[in-house]
Chain A
């Protein structure tokens, strides 16, 4: 049995996109309710908590992001091999601060049923609202939850799409605050585009979403890709700010799911089993 929230403490958390950080400048932010100061040098990230007597925090630069850990011995960040493929473009869609639990944000990211209602005429359109059965897999060796065989008809599934696409999705829940989406690549049907949602848990009911695209796209400019992603996120924001309670309910009877929510149910169950309470409704 995990100690309460040790699953989060013994891990890495993103704090900023490399591309958006000015070298030499001092910044401050929060992770899991703790104040953190950091500076990016030419080759290192230096970070410490408010208490300058304590040793420096462990840091890491990967997947286009700056990471810190509050532990001295965190397990490694999840492996996302696509970031090593040189023909992919890695683009940050920006850091978006949201006044709700990061767990609610991840759950929204894992959800297909809202596409026609929240991302109307982009990721879905009435009356094509059916969520067909998909499979949830538990990968014990890496302690992850995946959903495979997900599909949804999308009027404009990506910035590169010019006509409706039957989008195929694979969702990968790698950490309570990290989810990765693999989706049909409009440019190369044999490969998948990768969209990573890396949440910085600021406090129990506030977070910063760092979204990183790892795409095969030779048509759109960085700005076009970023604009597309930000437009989608803006639509989700209206939902996320109006979900009550802000914490994710883990009691299976508090919110009533249907079969389309099988992944969300598995996510809640997985969080509960790891004794994560930070960001949950209690």
Chain B
């Protein structure tokens, strides 16, 4: 099968996708948001944010992500995964994923196919009609079905003679589906036309001219005139000029089909505590080595989501250097008023302890815009910034590092800072007023044109840095921050603390759910199929009837009455405290 019989359709010219633009196209009634990331790769996405349905063509292309205009959600180039939900900065981002279509860019045109069934068929068998240099001519929209456009052009081929410097009666045309190749007996020039079927009643004709001579302005204009006249005449004859209804949703897939799922990197894996070290009187670091010996991909600023021995899910920044890919290093502060997560780590995570770990998408990332990173750390907030500093140091990129702590004794990771050759300015034991003064001068003396700010620490310090940075003229997008120790109940809640048995009423099947594992996941792993979607206790897809069990509800879907009844559970986030849980399914 050749390239075009595999279902690839031209949807845009390469020049329609300039840097940081989002282009809207349509193929067979399916609206597409096309955008090029800063590495040059093109994404062809369903033109619909999977959160609340806004057209993504209204979004902002930030170079490696597409940001939706409605709620600022960010989606990753290549995967379509949601990386960031501004409404819950410190929570695991949504499992939402934009539907993507296979997409290739060849010979100045972008091709997409809606049918993914033979994705393995690559596009390397594309053959241009000749090896002559080529250029795009202007694309022409037409209010007619693609096959009508093909017929119209076939019949009027002679009028395109001047475009390929041929005599009208020597023009030859060959159709291969929706591709038309034109040439002439006494000319080496070729013209290839790609008819894009936008909808049942509209198409766009893309054109690529192959010629050794420089394409003159006159030839380009001649082409535009011929095409417009040809197609508008045919539009009048066929009377199909009313636009078909725009359908942006994926008509080929019913909504009952599950959304694309996140990749394996976000699946939980088991680690063993292989070392722990007291960094300061209240911070201990832990080395967590994956049991499957996998090599870790360290992205500075990233978190590890850890199920503590007592069953709480807690997120800790990793402090790894880029080459430390064998074990995660995390710093845990023993908060006196902690609800138990950090206490449990300090007390129970001994060497040899097994812990479930997930690596959520990184939401506190280093920009790659070439500006100098100004890192400002407060207390245990040093952890993500330390990893950033190690990366920048190893990459030979400039950075400035300021570290605020109570005293020398409270400077965590002193050895790591020393070994990594990290230069930093400590600010010790500052009063509230002194902190303000110090940060004020620091930010006033930093040029917003050449610096990005990264700040992590207690909330009051971050709020102060944000307001002082605004004052100093830093635009919002250059102020990157992450709260530490923010009590937010919007994050994925912890599940339950102890092991319990699940009994499926209809089949009598039994299995146990280990501490910290979501009930939904346990059910799926044991072959009990439950519908699910958001995995945050909001959408309601996984609602499950309960026969017996002491439930702990962590969702926001069930009403208080339903929660009190004890007869319904949202297994994606909720669990139970009794030894057994009988599900009425």
B residues neighboring A (CB under 8 Å): 31, 47-48, 50-55, 58, 69-72, 85-89, 91, 94-96, 247-249, 255-256, 258-259, 466, 476, 479, 481, 488-490, 531, 533-534, 536-541, 556-557, 559-561
Contact = CB atoms under 8 A, between A and B. Distances in A.
Contacts of A257: 51, 534, 536, 538-539
Interface in A250-282: 251-262, 265-266, 269, 281
A131 interface: yes
Interface in A228-266: 238-239, 242-245, 249, 251-262, 265-266
Given A242-B55, A244-B48, A137 B560 contact: yes
B88 A258 contact: yes
A21 B556 CA distance: 43
The 5 lowest CB-CB distance pairs between A and B, nearest first, are A129-B86, A262-B556, A256-B96, A244-B248, A260-B87
A127 B488 CA distance: 16
A243 B52 contact: yes
A244 B245 CA distance: 12
Given A117-B71, A131-B87, A265-B539, A256 B255 contact: no
A92 to B, nearest CB: 27
Contact of A254 (B72, B247, B255, B476): B255
A132 B556 contact: no
Contacts of A260: 87-88, 490
Given A131-B88, A252-B533, A253-B258, A245 B248 contact: yes
A244 B53 CA distance: 5
21 contacts: A113-B71, A113-B87, A118-B69, A126-B476, A127-B481, A129-B87, A130-B490, A138-B559, A242-B54, A245-B53, A252-B540, A252-B541, A253-B258, A253-B541, A255-B52, A255-B53, A256-B50, A258-B94, A258-B536, A259-B91, A259-B538
B536 A129 contact: no
Given A127-B476, A137-B560, A256 B55 contact: no
A258 B534 contact: yes
A136 B539 contact: no
Given A126-B72, A254-B255, A257-B539, 4 more contacts: A131-B490, A243-B55, A244-B31, A257-B536
Given A132-B488, A265-B557, A249 B96 contact: no
B479 A258 contact: no
A238 B52 CA distance: 14
A250 B144 CA distance: 35
A126 B466 CA distance: 10
A130 B488 contact: yes
Interface in A64-98: none
A130 B538 contact: no
A127 B256 CA distance: 36
A29 to B, nearest CB: 24
B494 to A, nearest CB: 14
Nearest to A253: B533
A265 B55 contact: no
Contacts of B71: 113-114, 117
A37 to B, nearest CB: 29
A249 B560 CA distance: 24
B189 to A, nearest CB: 42
Contact of A256 (B69, B534, B560): B534
B539 A262 contact: no
A116 interface: yes
B291 to A, nearest CB: 31
Contact of A245 (B249, B256, B541): B249
A270 to B, nearest CB: 10
A133 interface: yes
Given A256-B539, A262-B557, A265-B556, A244 B55 contact: yes
Contacts of B557: 262, 265-266, 269
Nearest to B97: A256
A9 to B, nearest CB: 26
B540 to A, nearest CB: 5
Given A259-B556, A265-B556, A130 B88 contact: yes
B430 to A, nearest CB: 24
A262 B54 contact: no
A46 to B, nearest CB: 37
A253 B539 CA distance: 7
A57 B34 CA distance: 51
A53 to B, nearest CB: 35
B70 A253 contact: no
B1 to A, nearest CB: 33
Contacts of A117: 69-72, 86
Given A129-B89, A132-B490, A242-B55, A256 B481 contact: no
A266 B248 CA distance: 26
A247 B47 CA distance: 16
Nearest to A244: B248
Given A251-B256, A253-B541, A259 B490 contact: yes
Contacts of B256: 251, 253
Contacts of B258: 253
A238 B68 CA distance: 13
Contacts of B52: 107, 243, 255
